[in-house]
Amino acid sequence: MKKEILAVENIEKSFDGKEVLKNISFTVYENEFFFILGPSGCGKTTLLRIIAGFTQPDRGRVILNKKDITNLPPNKRNIGFVFQNFALWPHMKVKENIAFGLEIRKYPGDFIEKKVKEILELTKLKDVENLYPSQISGGQQQRVSLARALITNPQILLLDEPLSNLDAKLRDEMRSELKRIFKETGKTMIYVTHDQKEAMTLGTTIAVMKEKEIVQIGSPYEIYTYPRNFFVASFVGDINFLKGKIIEKIGEILKIETEEGLFYAKYKRPLNSENILFCFRPESITNKGENLIKGKMRDFEFLGNLLRLNIITERGNLFKIEILPKDFENYRNGEDIVFSIKKEDVILLEE
């Protein structure tokens, strides 16, 4: 049995009459790297602040280790928080910033020293321990912010878009660092981001948010392969779609009528309507077999390991497909191109 660390139950929040969070519920288990993924403004920061105790919900409960903490102040919650803007003390050295959480809890000096040393090692900040925040790089500041949150050994660590203030290269580096620190500490974490790549590469579980609601929770694989709706499907990756209508069901196989012809899908999830979107990912095409689509190549992008082709059909439907560069001979510029989608790779979504 997985051990439950944090549960959020039916959280609702409005600011000045405007609803910002609606019916938010989820459970985070021990040693999970739980991601909340959603576009800017959908309520992610508000949700984290409610979990940490900086904001009160209008309704709902926050449960930590089976204990209702909804009305506890932040400093009584045993939750760590890494802020988007780092929020370091400018007048304190790196090691003082890190030690602060233990100082105010009045731990003995030699204990603090030992803990700071451990955390400096974990976050690779030993060389800069005596510098001030203004004297270190953005990536190092981010690490200090992480070290400071980890040192009090919180039950759970909350991270609010921790990489968004870093440039692209640093972001990649810090992403691997976060993964390492997550593995080494075994700390349960909730990480909020609008960046699907961060969520897909780091997350053990992803909750996808749209506006004020969570629309799907699952592993990165589940979310990508079985998105519940078109918003989720297109937020976590590129997707092609075509309007269609289910006209027959033969066991698990659905027969679908579309503008581009009759297609077949093997799809086990229930659908509430016969009007659907026939969808597929750019990479899930083959060059022979069932569900043929014919078009012309409009242009292509070389992505290194992959070649992405834009295909336009006679009826004007545009599809993105991805192939291996070595397969390019089968797909020539300006020539007619035929590709196919396996029944198993079709994603059917309600309109």
Ligand X SMILES: Nc1ncnc2c1ncn2[C@@H]1O[C@H](COP(=O)(O)OP(=O)(O)O)[C@@H](O)[C@H]1O
Residues at the site binding Mg ion, with contacts judged by CB under 5 A: 44-45
Taking CB atoms, the residue at the shortest distance from Mg ion is 45
**Crossing angle of helices 109-122 and 168-185, rounded to 10°:** 130
Buried b (16+ CB within 10 A) or exposed e, 301-338: eeeeeebbbbbebeeebebbbbbeeeeeeebeeeeebe
Which among 194, 191, 280 has a CA at the least distance from the CA of 241?
280
Rounded Cα distance, 10 and 41, in Å: 20
Position 305 contacts ligand X (CB under 6 A): no
User: E strands within the chain?
Assistant: 4-15, 18-29, 33-37, 59-64, 67-68, 79-82, 156-160, 188-193, 205-210, 213-218, 240-250, 253-258, 261-266, 275-280, 285-286, 292-302, 307-312, 318-323, 336-341, 347-350
Residue 145: contacted member of Mg ion, ligand X, none (CB under 5 to 8 Å, by partner type): none
The piece of 43-51, 104-112, 213-221, 261-269 that touches ligand X (CB under 6 A) is 43-51
Asked if 43 interacts with ligand X (CB under 6 A), we say yes
Which of 11, 37, 42, 99 touches ligand X (CB under 6 A)? 42
Instruction: Name which position in 40, 134, 272, 273 contacts ligand X (CB under 6 A).
Output: 40
Check: CB of residue 244 under 8 Å from CB of residue 301.
Answer: no
Task: Report the residue number, 46 or 97, with the smaller CB distance to ligand X.
Answer: 46
> Residue 49 or 143: which CB sits closer to Mg ion?
49
| Closer to ligand X by Cβ: residue 41 or 325 | 41
Q: Residue 92 or 215: which CB sits closer to Mg ion?
A: 215
User: Min. distance of Cβ 285 from Mg ion in angstroms?
Assistant: 36
Query: Does 51 participate in binding ligand X (rule CB under 6 A)?
Result: no
Q: How far apart are CA 74 and CA 113, in angstroms?
A: 25
Interface segment toward ligand X; rule CB under 6 A; list 42-50, 123-131, 162-170, 257-265: 42-50
Chosen residue from 15, 54, 89, 302 binding ligand X by CB under 6 A: 15
By CB under 6 A, residue 45 contacts ligand X = yes
Binding site for ligand X (CB under 6 A): 15, 20, 38, 40-46
